[in-house]
Amino acid sequence: MSGSFGSKRGTEDHLQGGKRNEKPTIDIAEKGPFLIKGPVRYTDKDGNEIETDREVVALCRCGASENKLFCDGAHSDIGFTGDKERTETYPTREYTGDELTVVDNIGICCHWGACVNGAPDVFFKWDGDERISVPDGADREKVIRVVRACPSGSLVYKLDEKLQGEFFSEPEVFVS
């Protein structure tokens, strides 16, 4: 399972708990799940809402839950530690086109594919052995739509050298 906690466009009427002014938080239980507190909308890969009436939602972090996306305590049975195993780091890269700049932070990419499926002429091309983006490979509005569809937030964009990131309004957990 891969997933991300981000924000999606929409109205706040869909938020779990209905507390419009409360900001959600994410805590990580030591050797356990993500603990989501506050009003959050949960959706699956098809956009269907996943209902929960819990005030604190425990999301599986170990991958062994029989009730994914939710934690069922399996982390205790498998000896999950939550220690970060990946040691490599990835630089954030910028790809400048005529009208906008695409900023790519592959280190947080969940590899859902909104980019490569949404604008294959832009994301991700190869220049020798280096993966690049070509912002001019599609019209500006299409590139912006595709960047905004990135569930992990690893893609953002700049207009006139100014980072654009205020396109999220509703906290949401998206399960891909």
pLDDT confidence of residue 119: 95
Strand order in the sheet with 25-28: 25-28, 34-37, 56-59
Residues 9 and 33 in one domain: yes
Q: Is residue 106 helix, strand or coil?
A: helix
Residues 99 and 44 in one domain: no
174 in any annotated domain: no
pLDDT higher than threshold 80 for residue 66: yes
Domain that holds residue 32: 3-78
Q: Output the pTM of the full model.
A: 0.58
Q: What is the pLDDT of residues 29-55, one digit of tens each?
A: 999 999 999 888 888 767 788 888 888
